[in-house]
Chains A and B, each alone.
Chain A
Amino acid sequence: MRVTLTIALSGLLAVPAYAAEFDVDVQIPQMRVAEYHRPYVAVWIEGADNKAAANLAVWYQDKDTKEGHGTKWLPDLRQWWRRSGRTLDLPVDGVTGPTRPAGEHALNFDAADPRLAKLAPGQYTLVVEAVREVGGRELLKIPFTWPATAPQSGKAQGKTELGAVALTITP
């Protein structure tokens, strides 16, 4: 009985080791501008070769407007468009979603997420790019090692279109 319980408990304890977490916090700053539109934002992972290794999130307007469909402005996410966007069949399940308001946005991924699980061991960069209609564009990068053997965290501070961006990896 006691033996069984110990086994069961150790099994429970072992679970977190397999449920490594990959958390990204993205802050969209509040703006004091005459004309405000929510930014288009792309969050992706680049390999050491600068190629896109995984798309984590893309927020854009996926509907028709008077000026055309919302995809019309996706190339303004210049680096993301070049690295990945232009080859995608949009929308992408679990990646694309509507634009978000100013504030903190937490993106939590499980290491078992196929996008992370398929990454070959090595050096990567988390890239966050934001562009706003009649506004500016900003791109932030946070390097990390995958898979994580120890906790990792990184921060980048935007100046214009992005606020604080943080990456926390818990193995």
Chain B
Amino acid sequence: MKRSLVLALALAAALPITASAHKQWLVPSVTVVAGEGERWVTVDAAVSNDLFYPDFVPVKLDNISVIAPDGSVGKPENGATLKTRSVFDVNLAQQGTYRIANVNEGLSARWGERRAPGSKPPADPKASGSLRSVTVEELPTKIPAGAKNVEITETLSRIETFITNGEPTPVKPTGKGLELVPSTHPNDLFAGEEARFQLQLDGKPAADLEVLIVRGATRYRNAQDEIRVTSDANGEFSVTWPEPGMYWLQARAQDKNTSVKEANARRLSYVATLEVLPQ
């Protein structure tokens, strides 16, 4: 039991680099609020198949940061990690837009024979292996000496959502990794209206990336109703929200711009949860 949870957590941490269908998300109880001094909002954080119903594993709270309108960085409050989801509170003491983000950086490694699924087991099982969430320092000790075909991949993922108290303030790009730079404010989205965004990779426009958008409440319909759009030459794309709801937006990229010289490739992923209000 405990082992399966540990495995699940490891999987969750490693998720952005797997081709898993599971979706990671942060869902605030409300995205547009008004209040001075204290204005508490509760947030769910989970990895699931159905949007937005926790049915797999919780998101770990360790790397979740709460970026206030003035740029100061806070941590989740009253956090708890349950079996299938984590929950935490955010106090929107300032006026403006809060960004709540789970940013994960890491290295993964694999070596040895690449076997096709269903093929015979290798002659020497110890000659192949893989590691997740490994540090640069651990690489020489954890990868067996003389391992062949070593592939080290750097991963950088950002899962985020936005909440605005009062008047929206601009969401500024961090310039690191894959991220969404809004032209239409993420807390100013309405059904039937077009919203424009730009994808940036390390602060530069990310062209020709596919963006996958799925509205929540998937349990109550018979199709995913996915929206797929591709960023243009300037990294921009637009979407007209077909109906109100909480939407899950994902983009992925890969390149060779690793920050660690040991890594051969870098995989990036971005997820945002966006609320679209009725007219």
Contacts and interface: CB of A to CB of B under 8 A. Distances in A.
Interface of A: 68-69, 71-75, 78-79, 81-82, 85-87
29 contacts: A68-B35, A68-B39, A69-B35, A69-B36, A71-B34, A71-B35, A72-B33, A72-B34, A72-B39, A73-B34, A74-B34, A75-B32, A75-B33, A75-B34, A78-B277, A78-B278, A79-B279, A81-B32, A81-B34, A82-B188, A82-B190, A85-B34, A86-B32, A86-B34, A86-B164, A86-B166, A86-B167, A86-B168, A87-B167
Contacts, number: 31
Nearest to A86: B167
B169 to A, nearest CB: 11
A71 B38 CA distance: 12
Nearest to B278: A78
Most buried by B among A78, A81, A85, A86: A86
Contacts of B168: 86
Nearest to B190: A82
For the complex of A and B, 6 pairs with smallest distance between CB atoms: A75-B32, A86-B167, A74-B34, A71-B34, A87-B167, A75-B34
- Interface bin, chain B: 10 to 19
A73 B168 CA distance: 17
A138 B188 CA distance: 19
Contacts of A72: 33-35, 39
Interface string B136-152: 00000000000000000
Interface string B250-261: 000000000000
Given A71-B35, A75-B33, A79-B279, 6 more contacts: A72-B39, A75-B34, A78-B277, A82-B190, A85-B34, A86-B167
Contacts of A79: 279
Contacts of B167: 86-87
B274 to A, nearest CB: 15
Nearest to B277: A78
A81 B166 CA distance: 9
A85 to B, nearest CB: 8
A76 to B, nearest CB: 9
B170 to A, nearest CB: 15
B246 to A, nearest CB: 16
Contacts of A86: 32, 34, 164, 166-168
Contacts of B36: 69, 71
A75 B278 CA distance: 13
Contacts of B35: 68-69, 71-72
Contacts of A87: 167
Nearest to B30: A75
A160 to B, nearest CB: 14
Most buried by A among B32, B168, B278: B32
A82 B34 CA distance: 12
A78 B39 CA distance: 18
Nearest to B164: A86
Interface string B53-83: 0000000000000000000000000000000
A78 B277 CA distance: 8
A70 to B, nearest CB: 10
